[in-house]
Chains A and B, each alone.
Chain A
Amino acid sequence: MKSKERVARQEQANEGRGVTRQQFLARGASFALAAVVTGSGLTVLSGCGGNGGGSGGSASGPLTFWQFYGPGGQVKSQSKWFEDTVKAWNKENKTQVKLQYVSNKEYINGSKLQTAFSSGQGPDIFLISPGDFLRYYNGGVLEDLSQYMSKEAQNDFYPSVMATRTVDGKIYGLPMEVEPMAMYYSVKAFEKAGLSESDIPRSWEQLLEVAGKLKTKKMFGVEFETNPGYYQNFTWYPFMWQGGADAVTADGKKSDFNSKGAIQALKLWQDAVKMGVAPRTVQGTGGGDIVANLGSGYCAIQNCGIWGVAALREGAPKFKYGVFRLPIPPGGTYRTILGGWAFVANAKGKNPEEAAKFCVWALGSMSQDSIRRGVDWIAKAKSDIAPRKSVLKQATREGAYSSGPMKVFKEDIFPGGRGEPRYTPEVYKAVSDALQACQLSGADPKQQAEQAAQQINAFLKGYSGAKMV
């Protein structure tokens, strides 16, 4: 073919130019191949894991405090509470504390905090949820806070709330809040569908039925979290508990995940999607973002925590809604999950003692200031149940739970609560995979539950960390 000659001529024309286009491209591809190694994560991984999680930087300087309530966030009063707390401490103490904001998504589902510890740059003080407690406790980076607390203050916290923050009687985290999960509903959507308060579902069957009536072309009947992650597991656990099942048995030796309770809970979430009454994707930052979902009219009922009250107050003040406790399965017992974040101190930080003292000063002392701070957080900055008796008493006295959804939360929803369990990432992943497969891929709940139970059991055989609760 003549094209061969043309090609040859083209090459001749290229001679004398140094590197030909052909050579350049071939070499470029080779360089790209070399560069891939960087992108494949090898180089990234090599920087991790060698430093023992200590805090980096200079030994002096302010203590760093990582949290996810940034200035200009959804609720301004929350970031202000953090700023005021740190300002008050800095005024009274020589050791200064400096706030550092990490975005919510990155903090909860991302890698920034973990990577910081792996590279020896972990913060001195940070927030942690029970879902992530064992990772850091087993890593040996949590400071015992009980040594700086009075007995009276220790007893002031509710035992159910402290169970997931305590190991061998020592307290490693001081909760700021207790956040029960519930169902929120749009009053307007109910009215449009010809439903009233008397139609509020009490059972799973009723929930699906009502959701079917509420569903329109532009609105889903009910919404559960769909993004895989710790938060999705957190929101699903109470449905499993209502049927008497658990991911890990109370003695921590085996999994109970292949029991009826777990299977029927997997099926409930699957049915909601299969029937088309629940979405497969959620809006905003996820299923915990009530303004972007219920508030925007994307769904008529949303599974969300107590923080939704403050979020709606700030983000959609005119939106009319109600709350009700999680419906239960036939023969089941009401249960909800009590989430919430806690202050913890880095045992390998630049000054663990001062970091621990800060946590105790802020949330765990019997001083009036500490109690006041607790009330301000749960009643003004947020809308939560108090983790301490004294704080709950004062907040109640000040009318924080006297009416509206907060009254329902305190009197009807909170009493059936169980603390968020602390599981290792291996247990979390097994549950998450089963949940995702059933909810969004139509997998057989029984088979998925069995598979997850086997995975958890295999892991538990070699597990030697703190007890899962």
Chain B
Amino acid sequence: MSAGTTAETKTENHQNGKPPGRRRLSRRHREWLAASLFVFPDTLGLLVFVGIPMVLALAMGLFNVSGFGGITFVGLANYERMLSDSLFLESLKVTVIYVVSFVVGNFVISLALALLVKQKIPFVGVLRSMFFLPYVVSLVVIGLVWKFMLLDQVGIVNRILEALGLGSHSWLGNPRFALATVVAVSIWFLMGYYMVIFLAGLQEIPQEYYDAAKVDGARSWQTFRHITWPLLKPTSFFVLIVSTISGVAGFQTFDLIYVMTTGGPANSTSLGIFYIYQQAFQFNDYGYAAAMASFLVLILLIATAAMFILTRGGRFETD
């Protein structure tokens, strides 16, 4: 822009009653600025407390770090060790079993609960609160209470089973049942939370569709199949992604395993994240733990990307 043109613009602005040198931003730019200002503190926090440490941790995987100041560069040795570490590979297997059963079980149960509490039935508010209640209790407390209830022979669960003639089992002490028990407790803890998310999704679906379906003579299953299910896809996708991440990263499970099984019996509940924790904080092998954590994140990224692609980001069929 030439000097002459700038001078003309300023004069024009002045004549319009606007202060010279200020140019009014368009609505779109103002919104963008406001949004940026709102997001800035969080982005900064994410960068400082997540981004930078993440890069440092990735780098740590290339070193031998003792936890007492000893740091030696080892290149890819930690990654090589990881691939031949039978316990790590076993923990990945446990993680896969856990994640698949948790994600599927959690999805089905929380969706079923959401469908139930969407109905106009008596005391629906009480029901919703009851299902959500476990989620507001500390996970450590949840773990301790379940551990107590699941005790061998004398725990309340076994007593009930005995009374029903089903015999008692060691739910947390037998490798055959321990992981399934942890999955069940995890679902019980989280189902209320995901139920609320599904409920929000269900309530977004306009009632007119159901009314029209009713007029057309659609049955319950047809209504679910052709109205609820497709319109719930974005919510379902959200639940799938978040619960998968939660399962792999052990957001809630770590606490439960720490309290209920300590990774046992016989490493049967030792998820990848728990094994990483042990290597870092019990065996002082931070470099190795960082390498395994990086690998786990990579797997998670691939799994999530695959889900994005397969479900087309949870979009509607018309997209």
Contact = CB atoms under 8 A, between A and B. Distances in A.
Is the A/B pair a real complex? yes
Interface of A: 1, 3-4, 6-8, 10-11, 13, 21-22, 25-26, 28-29, 32-53, 109-111, 114-115, 117-118, 135, 139-141, 217-218, 220, 226-229, 279-281, 283, 298, 425-426, 429, 433, 436-437, 439-441, 443
B16 to A, nearest CB: 31
B42 to A, nearest CB: 10
A140 B67 CA distance: 11
Nearest to B46: A34
5 contacts: A6-B209, A36-B248, A48-B65, A139-B68, A425-B283
B94 interface: no
Interface of B: 46, 49-50, 53-54, 56-58, 60, 65-71, 87, 147-148, 150-154, 170, 172-175, 201, 204, 206, 209, 226-227, 230-231, 234-235, 237-238, 241-242, 245, 248-251, 262-268, 273, 276-277, 280-284, 286-287, 289-290, 293-294, 296-297, 300-301, 304, 313-318
A52 B286 CA distance: 13
Contact of A229 (B170, B262, B267, B296): B262
Contact of B170 (A21, A46, A279, A426): A279
A141 to B, nearest CB: 6
A135 B150 CA distance: 35
Contacts of A49: 60, 65-69, 71, 286-287
A48 B286 contact: yes
Identify whether the interface residues of B are mostly helix, strand, loop, or mixed. Answer: helix
A40 B54 CA distance: 10
A38 B54 CA distance: 8
A115 B284 CA distance: 9
Contacts of A35: 245
Contacts of B65: 48-50
Among all A-B residue pairs, the 10 with the closest Cβ atoms? A280-B173, A52-B69, A139-B68, A111-B281, A440-B265, A441-B266, A39-B249, A46-B53, A280-B170, A49-B65
Contacts of B273: 40-41
Nearest to A218: B154
Nearest to B243: A32
A296 to B, nearest CB: 9
B67 A117 contact: yes
A441 B268 contact: yes
Contacts of A39: 245, 249-251
A10 B231 contact: yes
Contacts of A7: 230-231, 316-318
Which of A49, A140, A280 has the most chain B CB atoms closer than 10 A to its own CB? A49
B284 A37 contact: no
B53 A26 contact: no
Nearest to A140: B68
A118 B286 contact: yes
Contacts of B87: 433
B225 to A, nearest CB: 9
Contacts of B316: 7-8, 10-11, 22
A36 B280 contact: no
Contact of A53 (B69, B297, B314): B69
Given A436-B266, A443-B266, A118 B67 contact: yes
Contacts of B235: 25
B293 to A, nearest CB: 4
B63 to A, nearest CB: 8
Nearest to B173: A280
B175 A441 contact: yes
Contacts of B234: 21-22, 25-26
